[in-house]
Structure 1
Amino acid sequence: MKNFFRPAIYLMNQLKYPQKFILITMLLALPLSLITYLFLLETNIRINFTERQTYGIKYLQPLRELRGAIFEAYLIEQELKYNFSSEQYQNKRKDANQKASEILQMLIARDRRSRNSLQTSTKLNEIKNTWQKLEENYQIWSPETKDVFYNRAIAQTSELTAKVGETSNLVLDPYLDAYYFSDAILAKLPEIQRTLIEIKILGNSINHNQEITPEERGKLVQLSGSLKDYTEDLSRNLEVAFNQSNSPDLRLKLDRYLQELLITTKQLNKQLDLLTSPYANVQPISYINQADRTLKLSSQLEKEISQVLNEISQARIRYLTTRQQLIIIFVLLISGIVVYLWIAFYKAVMLTVERLDEAAKQMTSGFVGGNITLENKDELGQVVESFNKIATALRHSNEEITRLNKRLETENLRMSAELEIARQLQEMILPKQEELKQIADLDISGFMAPAHEVGGDYYDVLQQNGKVRIGIGDVTGHGLESGVVMIMAQTAVRTLLAVGENDPVKFLNALNQIIYRNTNRMKSPKNMTLSLLEYEAGILRLSGQHEELILVRNNGKIERIDTFDLGFPLGLEPDITPFIQQEEVTLRSGEVAVLYTDGITEAVNSQNEMYGLERFYAILQKNYHQSADEIRQAVIDDVMSFIDEQKVFDDITLVVMKQR
């Protein structure tokens, strides 16, 4: 086994690592790219695409027979108008209708077996329902009503044909030969046949009356023009298909039928031109026979094209399958070579690593022997030259690392203690439950949970001179600096209230100047949003820019007070006087006011979905009739349930006030 890999090991030892990776990656990338692009993307998709086409072609065969049977029954029905007492025509009509019914049942059974893979059941049921109504009411319906249902059945077969062409990919074939062959059997030939049926029906009427009316002459001119257009389009399209086909046999198979159809169509058009001439004698029997012959030729051409189209699809599947097999063989061969080289590469590396590992163990144990020599010419050979230097420096490095680790532990302990003190300071200055209970008119409950050791959210509740003042804010970021700014804001707010500053513009601008100057002195980019809410005798006065104030009225309706135009972030500008406004709202008994920070609405779960305002509103509307503590707890429980095990990324602060 070792001798088997010796040539590959020798080759790998002569190459540097970039050369090794380039060699192996190129050999690996080639089959991978071929497998991914040609095999998976192109071959499989095209095989499935073509197999679906073959199924559509097979489905069209009985559908074509059904259309022909309905055409035949419709023609006989038209002849019955002029030969109603003829037992021969009555029997022909029964036979034609029976034939159409049998073909329809066979098509329904095929559709069930296919489990509606072509999505044809709806259209097929429409044909079934139309035909059943015609059969059931044949004896009582007028000829005009029968004509309506025959034409409806014919139109529905055309719709089903179009549906099959769409769902079986026949109309999407990327090759021009197959595309135009599909167009011929799906559109052109069915239209030609329907036009010929109308010509025959009109001819029977003219033949029976032995005269042609102006309306009939105009109709024949229209039908003649349509027939000419359809056959010319068919001829052009099939000529393109012949030219684009890789098989010269197709022209030999189909051109005879096409030319016969073109010749008979041309002759029929000439006869129609003579018949529609104002001076022509009315002798429609000859063009009726010509139309019948043309109809048979179009059906024969349609059948031949279907066979050719099926042969093209089968040949394409065989070609794709063969190419698929060749790709697999090629990939297996290249993969075998790649695996062989990877194993050799691994063995070559491992032989080197074993030698280096042995030397490394000796060096780390304090023993430095003679120089290590390897046969490798790659970069691993250069590693040996550095081992002696590493051994000398290793002990000194370990000593330095040990010393630094002890120092780092000391620093971590000190920093943890500082952060713990800052966190305790934050908790200490939050309003206590007993303070909130002393407020007579309002039932207030607050909550704050920082995302880190020290948060940047702020809220406070103060009662002074019959007024209740509630502040809520959010400092940018988290950590010690944000916590310091939060404490700074809390202290400043209380100081300004203590000195009796009640004007919201002066109050917020003075607070802004304090934070602006201190953050500049700290060389910190921190700033904060802050809203102040003043309550007195059922009136709320709101100023400052922060998240919106949410009011839940007694009927459960949510009312939102936007604070964007009521202030400006604190600490960004030295003077924010022009931006400060105040808005006043009424809070009636039983109604709830809610202040919050974006840590609630922007909380995300494991699917990276945000909690959002709509869910927030819903939980408030569901619980607004409860106490402030219960509302607060319901919101926090819902947020935590939404977040579940996901990490909390932002501080969460909530203040709920309810008018008693």
Structure 2
Amino acid sequence: MANRFAGKRLEVRGKTLFPTPHSPLPIPHFSMKPFQPAIALMNRLKYPQKFAAISCLFILPLSLVTYFLISEIQTRINFAAKEIIGNSYLRPLSELWVALPQLKILRDSNSIQNSSEIISTENKIDNSLSQLKPVELKFGKVLGTSDKFNQLRNNWINSKTNRYSNNKSAEYNLLINQIHDLRSHVGNQSNLILDPDLDTYYLMDATLLKLPEMQRILAEIQSISQSIKIHKKVTPLERAELIILLGMLRDSNSELMDNIDVAFTNNPPGNLRPKLTQTLNLFTQNIKKLTERVNPLIDSEKVPQPDDYFADAEQNLKQSSLLWNQIIDELDFLLQYRIDGFARKQILLYIFIFIILAIVVYIFVGFYLGLIQTISSLSGASKQMVEGNFADEIALDTQDELTEVVKSFNNIAVALVKANQEISQLNHRLKTENIRMGAELEITRKIQQMILPKDYELAQISGLDIAGFMKPASEVGGDYYDVLQSKGAIKIGIGDVTGHGLESGVLMLMVQTAVRTLLENNETDYRKFLDTLNRTIYNNVQRMNSDKNLSLSLLDYQEGTLHLSGQHEEMIVVRKEGAIERIDTLDLGFPIGLEADITDFISQIEIQLHSGDGVVLYTDGITEAENMENVLYGMERLCEVISNNWQKSAVEIREAVIEDLQQHIGEQKVYDDITLLVLKQK
């Protein structure tokens, strides 16, 4: 297993180091991991279920979008239909708007000859209200006009009953205001004022605002003209009123022409210009003639001819009613044209969706049947292969990815027929090779065990009670520990090569040999010792084209004094009473074999040992050992076992740690080499 420093960023003495090419950082690449849930789901479904699941994922959003689209179209249809309802209400209301001022003029004339005309106009108003009543009964709730209609009808009945009262003017103004209020209410509630198309918008502007306003002005002109005729003179106030009304009429006429021209220009069906042009031109020209009469009123004190004003206003009123009716008819046509267009879109949308769904189902069924056919062919061929009879290749009339699968299957089948003949020969050769490699591994393992320090060697070291243990995770381990004595110097080493197996075991042997060689050569400088060792191992690793390296700590012992150098796991210092001190080795060296020159990273510390004190050295195979629940053995548990057993001998301490470690691991597989070295000052 890799030591705890391999592949990590290291910071030593203010320097930041990164792994060399021998331990590269992971390179980002495309991973299927984000798609694992989807893959797992698809792998658990049969193809009909897969098609059904994928179809639902497509159909649900498609259905939602279709629903919103159809709902939007239906909303536009309902919008236009409500506008038609508003027009239905405005028709009889417009007749009331025109007839009521005429009745006021007839009543104000106080002429007996007008009695029949008064009765006729009243009947006309009654008829308009009668026409309005069924419309009100049908659409009153939709438009919310019931209260306003009832008030208008009741006030009209009172006005007709009191036709000869002295309060006729107030009653007239009340009725006119109620009609105006009811018309505005209908325009607002029936969407007429909100129409989105320019042609219908300006037609509604004409029927709701412009023409009713011009009709009101014309009625006022008639009323003033009648007053002038009755009194045989014109007052300054009446002259001013005429001037103002004629100016307002001229402005309204100009706006009406401009707006209707916009409607003509933005009229896709093209029905407005041929239907309305003649009546519109006649009406607007006559309005111009009437408004031109304002100039004599301004330029002189001449008394206006009331009959002329009255006749022109009356003629224009009739033409305005004719134009209003034509506009409202064309407006209904355009609204119905719009509704029909939306209805056609709905039908086309339904047809389109049905065709697409039919095509999708047809293609899905075809795809499924083709897939089943291919799977059936592969299944039959595989059965033939199992029986040892594969003479004919599978042929498919397809161009998709399954064709490549079938080609690969055919190639595999041909190759298997050929390979089957070679397998027997290879099996024999492999058996021979396995025997040879097993023997080589066994030899390497025995060599490792042979060079480990023997018990009698450890017993000969004066001043220290020493016990060691090493168990590789595989046939050949990568852990290293040694206790060497030469010419009075005692060198203790422990290390961990990245990984385990033959290559790690060979590197461990190299390290043991190099350490003994340097010791025999009387190298006492710890920095030169580690640097020379590192260069030797580094050059060998390069020659081997390997990415192996190792953590290594070396201890020099003499008369109760330990000098520690090199980077490895923490060193555990145990005092006589069992107190634990943990020495971090991160700043004492650098992984061996990772860089050519590590001189700048090597350092040393000194530890004094008194009688009963000692140290424990280990590899991460102990602290990172897992149980069946994947819980690590851990540094704290190791220190606790050592402390609890420190009063015993080194061998007994070793046995206590190994026994506790085995209890922790249980039936779990051992993934890393386990090494332990206990040194206790006598």
Q: TM-score range by the shorter chain?
A: 0.3 to 0.5
Pair member with larger Rg: 2
TM-score by length of structure 2 reads 0.46
